[in-house]
């Protein structure tokens, strides 16, 4: 079965370098649309058939509006708005992906630091214990030496006073 190969011309899309002040958006020239005039004076709120009057005037306005012309006028603006929405969603997706990538990188770095700490902590603990034991042994030896000298001097003092 033949394989389909997709090529992506955009290896990376850096939106931080995009200067929106330099982007030239197309100018939309809206044609003049003559909207129908509604004479609200003809509507009598005291009339029991207000609903019928409003429906009659509404239907009359709807018949007079050039719907196709309005659609043609609104279509470019709708396209620009739709494109802007797609760009906004795309920027949001890219931002979310960047956050996820940074979180993954931070997690990997922290895992490396934790591994190094786990490797070095036992060695540091053993060295600290050995150093503490050596200091204790040296202090004990010095204290014993002082005590033995003190006992020896006390013995010589007793023998000289006894004589």
Angle at 123 between CA 118 and CA 117, to 5 degrees: 20
Q: 44 CB contacts (<8 Å, ≥6 apart)?
A: 50, 53
Q: How many residues does the chain have?
A: 163
pLDDT in tens, 43-77: 666 655 656 665 665 566 555 566 676 677 778 88
Between 26-30, 54-58, 68-72, 115-119, the lowest mean confidence (pLDDT) is in 54-58
Is residue 1 scored above 60 in pLDDT?
A: no
Is residue 156 scored above 60 in pLDDT?
A: yes
């Amino acid at each position: 079965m033949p394989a389909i190969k997709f090529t992506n011309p955009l290896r990376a899309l850096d939106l931080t370098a995009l200067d929106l002040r330099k982007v030239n958006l197309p100018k939309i020239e809206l044609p003049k649309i003559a909207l129908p005039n509604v004479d609200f004076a003809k509507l009598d709120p005291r009339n029991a058939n207000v609903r019928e009057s409003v429906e009659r005037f509404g239907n009359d306005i709807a018949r007079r509006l050039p719907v196709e012309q309005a659609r043609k006028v609104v279509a470019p603006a709708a396209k620009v708005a739709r494109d802007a929405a797609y760009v906004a969603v795309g920027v949001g997706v890219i931002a979310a992906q960047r956050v996820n990538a940074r979180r993954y990188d931070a997690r990997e770095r922290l895992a490396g630091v934790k591994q190094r700490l786990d490797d070095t902590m036992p060695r540091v603990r053993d060295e600290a214990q050995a150093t503490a034991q050596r200091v204790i042994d040296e202090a004990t030896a010095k204290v014993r030496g002082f005590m033995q000298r003190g006992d020896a001097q006390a013995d010589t003092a007793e023998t000289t006073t006894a004589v």
